[in-house]
Amino acid sequence: MVFMVIEHLRPGKAPEIYRRFRDRGRMAPDGVRYVASWVDLEFRRCFQVMEADDQMMLREWTKHWSDLVDFEIVEVRTSEQAAAAIAPEL
């Protein structure tokens, strides 16, 4: 499964987040795979694409960061998959 993880960084916490990442890494459990990420210019949000068998695996990962970040996790599909799913209704 593919997920868009929107991280809402708590105000003023970006340096602490990056310090923890530098020192301890992503801290994702086996079976959670980082694909790509983008960070807005004000360090308020990070948009990450992650893969995992289920959302509970992602919750294992996010608990390591929940003191600094609020998470929004959305299961997503590719545009091609979306087009195929909606095709019968067209």
The CATH number given to whatever domain includes residue 19 is 3.30.70
Whole-prediction pTM value? Answer: 0.90
- Per-residue pLDDT, 78: 94
> What would you report as the CA-atom Rg of the chain, rounded to the nearest whole angstrom?
15
**Count of structural domains within the chain:** 1
DSSP 35-66: EEEEE-TTSSEEEEEEE-SSHHHHHHHHTTTT
Please list the rounded mean pLDDT of every run of 10 residues in the chain (90 residues): 98 98 96 97 98 94 97 96 96
- Per-residue pLDDT, 47: 98
Residue 31 belongs to domain spanning = 2-89
- Per-residue pLDDT, 22: 97
CA-CA distance, 15 to 29, in Å (whole number)?
23
CA-CA distance, 32 to 61, in Å (whole number)?
8
CA-CA distance, 11 to 64, in Å (whole number)?
18
